[in-house]
Amino acid sequence: MLSNLATRDVETLIHPYTQLAAFRETGPLILERGEGVWVYDTEGKPYLEGMAGLWCTSLGYSNRELAEAAYEQMLKLPFQHLFSGRSHDPAIELAEKLKEIAPVPVSKVFFTSSGSEANDSQVKLVWYYNNARGRPQKKKIIARLKGYHGVTVASASLTGLPANHTDFDLPIANILHTSCPHHYRFAHEGESEEEFSTRLAAELEEQILREGPDTVAAFIAEPVMGAGGAVVPPAGYFPKIQAVLDRYDVLMIADEVICGFGRLGEMFGSTALDIRPDSISAAKAITSAYAPLGAVMLNEDMYQAMLDESRKIGVFGHGFTYSGHPVSCAVAIKTLEIYQREDIVGKVRARAPHFQNRVTALEQHPLIGESRGMGLIAGMEIVADKATKRQYDPKKGVAAKTVTFAQEEGLIVRSLAGDRIALCPPLIITEEEIDALFDRLERALDKTLDWVTREGLT
């Protein structure tokens, strides 16, 4: 029997990434408040938020400094747009700070409200850039199978997950996909990580040559894949990919929406994984998710092309009402200040070994075929047979069942396609809270093992 609040939810809201028909029976988990790495439902039950909300609440919940930054800006200038040459201090200061901390030289920053908007803008700007450079055929953008880049028409096309395409009539033209760099699932028998990386780089080069280098404009990738399974790239992957891109004058777009701002033990995932991007998408932890904000950081060559087009056309015809929203920018400025003052990146590096030790130990569980991560992010894959890597029937929803059991244990984690479980806790998590997270997850896995045994799924 659903509560009154749950019934109101079911009758009024559409929930993203939810089996809408089944949801009408189960109803929502309604969360009322949060503190640090903990959130509390309407009954007062605490849950350790093992996904930092949605890969984003890096500084945890109820940070007073961020709330005060938003409040003070709302009193001073609650809104102003950046259209037609208008501006304001928060947008200017934030753009300056992003240029200072970027992993490569950045010329200009374009603000959006989300990572989806940032990646959607990347597509348009790549096309705009090549038109300005007199290369109207160089428009194809290569993303990766299982990569995740958002849900707008263009960014969902970049995303390499079937559920984001099926019956949405996606992907659109000029969006291609190459192999997923998941060694556990896609490497050949006996193939080392370096060998796997070499093969994937060769496959990308073959694809570019097949399409025609004069038609391929850009390659986009997350440093560590998020919604595609929390997949860490194999050894040597990005340097080998970068060499191919350089050879054929293909832009590198780094989707730092999840990995940016400390998640991998560096301010940006590009630094951690030796990526040299021409442009960068950021969002989520830029404000610790306290206010919607995304950003596209561009190099000087791309900016000069935009100037050329603006002169020709008479206007740069792209932007959003909330591009550089002053409240979001003020929260982001304070977020970056806290990252620096509290040495959040250093704390991630200090806690990552313990976190990753607990991640690796999960491979001893009878259900876990692979458990791997980097920094404070990890993905693990549930399998029916560890020796053969055989998976359960996806219709049984084994990983989803683990998420339900974890919730019973007071832990919020996320299931992904392929019976994978993702972990991405707030960056402020302590060692004791890390242990609490994994203790609860292990109990949830034990319950799942009992369940699959009772159901005869093995």
- The answer to whether residues 283 and 328 touch, using CB atoms and an 8 Å cutoff, is no
- The answer to whether residues 297 and 279 touch, using CB atoms and an 8 Å cutoff, is yes
Using CA atoms of 134, 138, 139, 142 in order, give the dihedral in degrees to the nearest 10.
Answer: -150
Q: For residues 289 and 373, give the distance between their C-alpha atoms in angstroms, rounded to a whole number.
A: 22
Residue with tokens 């130990």: 361
Cis peptide bond upstream of 171, omega within 30: yes
Burial (Cβ within 10 Å: 0-12, 13-18, ≥19) of residue 193 = middle
Residue percentage of the chain with pLDDT more than 90: 95
pLDDT at 2 over 80: no
Paired residues of 47 in beta bridges? 39
- The answer to whether residues 36 and 430 touch, using CB atoms and an 8 Å cutoff, is no
DSSP string, 322-368: TTT-HHHHHHHHHHHHHHHHTTHHHHHHHHHHHHHHHHHHGGGSTTE
pLDDT at 48 over 70: yes
The model's pTM: 0.96
Cα-based distances in Å from 121 to 294, 420, 444? 11, 30, 40
pLDDT at 66 over 90: yes
Cα-based distances in Å from 430 to 187, 423, 457? 35, 15, 37
Instruction: Give the pLDDT band of residue 1 (cuts 50, 70, 90).
Output: low
Query: pLDDT tens digits for 255-306?
Result: 999 999 999 999 999 999 999 999 999 999 999 999 999 999 999 999 999 9
- Boundaries of CATH 3.90.1150.10 in the chain? 4-62+343-455
What mean pLDDT is reported for the chain? Answer: 97
Residue type, 307: L
Q: For residues 417 and 19, give the distance between their C-alpha atoms in angstroms, rounded to a whole number.
A: 13
Number of H helices and E strands in the chain, helices first, is: 16, 15
Q: For residues 94 and 102, give the distance between their C-alpha atoms in angstroms, rounded to a whole number.
A: 12
Residue 373 per-residue DSSP state: E
Give the distance between the most distant pair of CA atoms in the chain: 69
Q: Which of 213, 207, 210 is nearest to 143 (CA)?
A: 207
Query: pLDDT tens digits for 315-369?
Result: 999 999 999 999 999 999 999 999 999 999 999 999 999 999 999 999 999 999 9
Instruction: Give the pLDDT band of residue 241 (cuts 50, 70, 90).
Output: very high
pLDDT of 366 reads 97
- Exposed e or buried b per residue across 308-336, where buried means at least 16 C-beta atoms within 10 angstroms of its C-beta: bbeeeeeeeeebbebbbbbbbbbbbbbbb
Query: pLDDT tens digits for 301-329?
Result: 999 999 999 999 999 999 999 999 999 99
- The answer to whether residues 75 and 67 touch, using CB atoms and an 8 Å cutoff, is no
- Exposed e or buried b per residue across 61-82, where buried means at least 16 C-beta atoms within 10 angstroms of its C-beta: bebeebeebbeebeeeeeeebb
DSSP string, 82-134: -GGG---HHHHHHHHHHHHH-SS---EEEEESSHHHHHHHHHHHHHHHHHHTT
- Region 66-341: CATH code: 3.40.640.10
Query: pLDDT tens digits for 371-401?
Result: 999 999 999 999 999 999 999 999 999 999 9
- Boundaries of CATH 3.40.640.10 in the chain? 66-341
Q: CA 372, 374, 375: angle at the middle one, nearest 5? A: 140
pLDDT of 25 reads 87
Query: pLDDT tens digits for 67-125?
Result: 999 999 999 999 999 999 999 999 999 999 999 999 999 999 999 999 999 999 999 99
Give the distance from CA 110 to its chain's centroid: 19
Q: Which of 116, 39, 361, 370 is nearest to 230 (CA)?
A: 370
- The answer to whether residues 252 and 245 touch, using CB atoms and an 8 Å cutoff, is yes
Which ranges in 212-288 belong to alpha helices (H)? 237-247, 269-272
Fold of 4-62+343-455: Aspartate Aminotransferase, domain 1 (3.90.1150)
Query: Nearest 5°: phi and psi at 248?
Result: -120, 20
